[in-house]
C-alpha cells in the first residue's frame, strides 16, 4: 500500500510502499477513502508531541470501509462505512475506563501517534473504535467530523448551559461548532488573528453574530469561551471576555505556555478547563447530531502524495475550514 511516513520529527513525510497491515483479534482492516489533516498532526510532525511511534503513519480523521476482520464476531462488518478517530484503543478495565472516562485511560493508544493512522491506503483499527458512518456520507466532508467536530463537541459540552460562546481560533473545529451553536439557537462569536478580515467574514457567513480579532472585546460578555488555537496568551484574553461564573475551555492537545495573569481575571467563580481526547459516547452523540443539524465542513482536498503541502498550508494559516487528504 502507499503511505506517507514520518521517520523523524521535524522532517517532511516520505511517500513509501508498505506491506498491507493485517487485522488481529478485535481489529478490522479499513480501506481509507479520506483522512482529515489536523493541527495535532502538525504537533506530531513538528515534535511538539514527543512520544510518537516511529516510523509512523500519521492521521486520525479517517473515513473508509471495513475490508476484513480479525475476528469472526466482526465479520459482519465487512463493507461497513466507518470513521476512525484519535482515540484508538483503551484497556477497558482501569478505573477511568470503568467510570466512563475512557479518554483518560493511562494505557490508551492513539491513531496516528502510537498506532499507524490514515495517511495511507489502509489501516488497522480496533473494532471498538471504528465508528459507524452513514453509507452515503461524502468521505471528504465527513473526515473533519472525526476530530475537529468531536473535540469541538466535547469542549462545547464542558461549557455547560450557555448562549453566548466565544470561539478563539476560527479553524477546522470552530467552523463546525459555530454551525452547531447556530442550530441550537445560541450566539457564537468568533475571534481570529488580528486583521484577518477574510476569516472574520467566513465566521459571519456561518452564523457568528460577531467576529473580530483575538485582542478585541466582544459586544457582550461571553457565557463561555473555547480556545481552539494553541496559543496560551489567549487564555487570559478569554477570561477577560467571559462573565462572572463563566468558563474557558482549552480544546487543544498542545498549547504554548499560559502567561501569568492577575487573580481578578479568575475571580467571581470563573473557571478554566481542558479537554483530553474523546470517547466513543461523544461519537455516538455527535455524528447523528451533525447530520440532523446539517453541519457541513468547508474543505480543501489534496491527494495523498501532497500531504506535506496540506500540512504546510495548515501551519501557515492558508486553509479556510478543514484540509482533507483524498486517498481513494
pLDDT in tens, 79-133: 999 999 999 999 999 999 999 999 999 999 999 999 999 999 999 999 999 999 9
Nearest to 11 by CA among 51, 53, 45, 54: 45
User: Which residue, chain included where needed, has cell 520529527?
Assistant: 9
pLDDT, tens digit, 9 for 90 and up, residues 7-61: 999 999 999 999 999 999 999 999 999 999 999 999 999 999 999 999 999 999 9
Residue 73: pLDDT over 90:
no
State the pLDDT at residue 29: 98
State the angle between helix axes of 197-205 and 172-183 in degrees (0 to 180), rounded to the nearest 10. Answer: 30
Identify the CATH number of the domain defined by range 149-274.
Answer: 3.40.50.720
Of the chain, the percentage scoring pLDDT greater than 70 comes to 100
What residue ranges of the chain are covered by domains with CATH 3.40.50.720?
149-274
CATH of 2-147+278-326, one of 3.40.1710.10, 3.10.150.10, 3.30.930.10, 3.90.180.10: 3.90.180.10
What residue ranges of the chain are covered by domains with CATH 3.90.180.10?
2-147+278-326
Residue 119 near residue 325 (C-beta atoms within 8 A): yes
Cell of 92: 477497558
Mean pLDDT across the chain: 96
pTM: 0.95
User: Please, how many CA atoms are within 13 Å of residue 218, restricted to the half-sphere of its CB?
Assistant: 29
Amino acid at each position: 500500500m502507499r503511505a506517507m511516513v514520518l521517520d523523524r520529527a521535524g522532517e517532511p513525510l516520505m511517500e513509501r510502499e508498505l506491506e498491507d497491515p493485517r487485522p488481529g483479534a478485535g481489529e478490522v482492516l479499513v480501506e481509507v477513502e479520506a483522512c482529515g489533516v489536523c493541527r495535532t498532526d502538525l504537533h506530531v510532525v513538528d515534535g511538539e508531541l514527543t512520544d510518537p511511534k516511529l516510523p509512523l503513519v500519521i492521521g486520525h480523521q479517517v473515513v473508509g470501509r471495513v475490508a476484513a476482520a480479525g475476528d469472526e464476531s466482526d465479520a459482519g462488518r465487512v463493507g461497513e462505512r466507518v470513521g476512525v478517530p484519535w482515540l484508538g484503543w483503551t484497556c477497558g478495565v482501569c478505573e477511568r475506563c470503568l467510570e466512563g472516562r475512557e479518554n483518560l485511560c493511562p494505557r490508551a493508544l492513539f491513531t496516528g501517534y502510537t498506532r499507524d493512522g490514515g495517511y495511507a491506503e489502509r489501516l488497522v483499527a480496533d473494532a471498538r473504535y471504528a465508528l459507524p458512518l452513514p453509507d452515503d456520507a461524502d468521505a471528504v466532508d465527513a473526515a473533519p467530523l472525526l476530530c475537529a467536530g468531536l473535540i469541538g463537541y466535547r469542549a462545547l459540552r464542558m461549557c455547560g448551559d450557555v448562549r453566548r460562546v466565544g470561539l478563539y481560533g476560527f479553524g477546522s473545529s470552530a467552523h463546525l461548532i459555530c454551525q452547531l451553536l447556530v442550530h441550537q439557537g445560541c450566539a457564537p462569536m468568533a475571534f481570529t488573528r488580528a486583521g484577518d478580515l477574510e476569516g472574520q467574514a467566513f465566521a459571519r457567513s456561518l452564523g457568528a453574530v460577531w467576529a473580530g480579532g483575538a485582542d478585541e472585546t466582544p459586544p457582550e460578555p461571553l457565557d463561555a469561551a473555547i480556545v481552539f488555537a494553541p496559543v496560551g496568551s489567549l487564555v487570559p484574553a478569554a477570561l477577560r471576555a467571559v462573565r462572572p461564573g463563566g468558563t474557558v475551555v482549552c480544546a487543544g492537545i498542545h498549547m504554548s505556555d499560559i502567561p501569568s495573569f492577575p487573580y481578578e481575571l479568575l475571580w467571581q467563580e470563573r473557571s478554566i478547563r481542558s479537554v483530553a481526547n474523546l470517547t466513543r459516547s461523544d461519537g455516538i452523540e455527535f455524528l447523528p447530531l451533525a447530520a440532523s443539524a446539517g453541519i457541513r465542513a468547508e474543505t480543501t482536498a489534496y491527494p495523498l502524495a501532497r500531504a506535506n503541502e496540506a500540512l504546510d498550508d495548515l501551519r501557515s494559516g492558508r486553509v479556510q475550514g478543514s484540509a482533507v487528504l483524498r486517498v481513494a
